Amino acid sequence: MINPLNAVAMGDKKADIILKNSALVNVYTREINNQTQVAVLGDRIAYVGPDASHTAGPNTTIIDLQGKFLTPGFADPHVHIDQFVMPSELAKQSLLCGTTSLFSDPIDIVSVCGFSGLKQFLKFCAGLPIRIFSVTPGGIPVDPKFSHGKALSISEEKSALKLDGIVGLGEVFSWTKVTSRDPSTMKKLAQMLEHDCLINGHTAGASDKKLNAYISSGIFSCHEPIDYSQVMERLRLGMWVMMREGSIRRDLKNIIPEILQNKPYLSRLMFCSDGLDPSDISKFGHIDHCVHQAISMGMDKIDAITCASKTSFDYYGMGNNIGGISPGKLADLLVFDDLTKKPRRVFVGGKLVVSNGSIVTKIRKQTIPSWITKTVKLKKLSESDFIIPSKNTNVIANLIEMESEIITKLSTIELAVKDGNVIPSKEKDVWKVAAFDRIYGSGKKAVGFLKNFGADIGAFASTWSFHENDLIVIGSSEKDMAIAANHLIKYQGGMVIVKENKVHSFLPLQIAGILSKNSFDDVLEKFTNINQVLRDANCKFSRPHLMPLFLPFLALPSIRILHSGIIDVKKRSIIPPLA
């Protein structure tokens, strides 16, 4: 059988494309090879060397790079792309930034739609001019006692391994389930290891014997280290570390300077985003931003490119196929005028997809089944759904006190009762907060109190929340809270702000209540407006959209709210709204 790449390398067959006069960034030798020529046949590289003229034929496209840098395509080894926009819309933004491969953990679409949601999401990801590899979610249920988001059964996880694009198990972020050898968790890990699948980690807060126990269970990566010491503890134990620079956390500034000072081996270090909101990817970029940040802190340019490309594919066991520029590898290539800027050209599988800052390939219109746009299963709500009854004139209420958009603590406060209803207090910055089951249509709900929101509005509501996907409503007026909730019920998902009975800002998320059908630019505009309206109304936090996302998130302390009740995460108990 004739190997066509072999034949091109020898000149017996002609290349489709030759890139000549490149300054090739070599991630294998840590050098820049000037005046290098690269010949591509189909989707793979056939020749790398000083002269590819022997591979040129009458139909070969020859591109003179005129000394520009040529690098491998960038990869994001841990990213949640089932957020805000469809994969087709995210693909455009990532490609413009030179990110040609995404390793997706679709935990939110699964928590809403289960196995059917996973299969449909893989269809959304297929056929795009970007490589999307996916893992089955390893983080749900977060706490089986309280979690009610959908999760894959053991048999469904096994079936998922046969689906195109699945490469392993997503982040196992309840690491205490591993250290305590929870039977269900250990069975899940064992099944993955039996099928030679990779398992992604999440070890926030774990160290010493707990970290050792976690790693010895077959989990070899983590994207949670927030400083140099945490990175080094994991590297010393043989883990691969994904240095995070994304919308939830930005950790490079606490890691890179000491890495450069102490000079450990970089062979197990890579960049990741852990997810990007529309504003951040528009303003900063994607993995290219990590490269620029690392270089600005003093990292060698070739090392930064290696962390953005080769290391991710080595970790996923794909290094023989992708991640560098060498014969036989997939031709995912970036052309730069300057390695601290966005790429001038982007090739994926030998096809030009970005040229001079524009997408130059067609991205197919995706078919959206109707069932995935009908996940807000709630009947119309009224003001009475937000009442907390009491026969007293004053009560002591338990509060979810917001220390940041994400971090909470338990406190108490005295509140007045009016017409048998405990009312919030703008003077004390105390709000009502409610969670409704919008997935199963059970009618279950929980209503409590929240402190430190500050915005002069009537209500803020969202159907998207990590990873329980309740409808969350924060408000100072029961009437406006009902209007906000009903708006999301009517349009089947999104984020909405209501004041004085009127909708002031709305971001539709029609697909599973977490993704928009709309274009990236439209989502960016509406997302920006949501946050700006809240900030202009004197919200105490700069990223207020995160509040309803994290309020039900059981993986963080201390107080959360789900439709099943107000939860003390550490004590694993339900707290009543009134003390």
Q: Rounded to an integer, what distance in angstroms lies between the CA atom of residue 526 and that of residue 561? A: 26
Q: What is the pLDDT at residue 232?
A: 98
Q: What is the pLDDT at residue 441?
A: 92
DSSP letter string over 357-408? Answer: TEE-S--PPPP--GGGG-----PPP-GGGG--B-SSSEEEEEEEEESSSS-E
Q: Rounded to an integer, what distance in angstroms lies between the CA atom of residue 401 and that of residue 406? A: 10
Helix ranges, 242-373 (H):
256-262, 278-283, 287-296, 301-308, 310-315
Sign of the Cα torsion 289, 291, 292, 298 reads: positive
Return phi, psi of residue 213, to 5°. Answer: -65, -40
Q: What is the pLDDT along the chain (579 residues), one digit of tens a residue?
A: 568 999 999 999 999 999 999 999 999 999 999 999 999 999 999 999 999 999 999 999 999 999 999 999 999 999 999 999 999 999 999 999 999 999 999 999 999 999 999 999 999 999 999 999 999 999 899 999 999 999 999 999 999 999 999 999 999 988 999 999 999 999 999 999 999 999 999 999 999 999 999 999 999 999 999 999 999 999 999 999 999 999 999 999 999 999 999 999 999 999 999 999 999 999 999 999 999 999 999 999 999 999 999 999 999 999 999 999 999 999 999 999 999 999 999 999 999 999 999 999 999 888 999 999 999 999 999 999 999 999 999 999 999 999 999 999 999 999 999 999 999 999 999 999 999 999 999 999 999 999 999 999 999 999 999 889 999 999 999 999 999 999 999 999 999 999 999 999 999 999 999 999 999 999 999 999 999 999 999 999 999 999 999 999 998 889 999 999 999 999 999 999 999
Does residue 508 have a cis peptide bond before it, meaning omega lies within 30 degrees of 0? no
Q: Rounded to an integer, what distance in angstroms lies between the CA atom of residue 481 and that of residue 489? A: 12
Those residues with Cβ within 8 angstroms of residue 107's Cβ, 6 or more apart along the chain or in another chain:
80, 82, 137, 139, 140, 170, 467
Does residue 558 have a cis peptide bond before it, meaning omega lies within 30 degrees of 0? yes
Exposed/middle/buried for 337, CB within 10 Å: 0-12, 13-18, 19+? middle
The token pair that represents 332 in the structure block: 């995912």
Q: Rounded to an integer, what distance in angstroms lies between the CA atom of residue 332 and that of residue 459? A: 47
Q: Rounded to an integer, what distance in angstroms lies between the CA atom of residue 471 and that of residue 463? A: 4
Exposed/middle/buried for 472, CB within 10 Å: 0-12, 13-18, 19+? buried
Q: What is the pLDDT at residue 364?
A: 86
Helix 520-536 × helix 87-96 angle, to 10°: 90
Q: What is the pLDDT at residue 158?
A: 96
Q: Rounded to an integer, what distance in angstroms lies between the CA atom of residue 469 and that of residue 82? A: 13
Strands (E), 42-165: 44-49, 61-64, 69-72, 74-79, 84-85, 99-104, 131-136
DSSP state of 463: S
Q: Rounded to an integer, what distance in angstroms lies between the CA atom of residue 247 and that of residue 234? A: 23
What's the Cα-to-Cα distance from 119 to each of 153, 163, 254, 536, rounded to whole Å?
14, 8, 38, 41
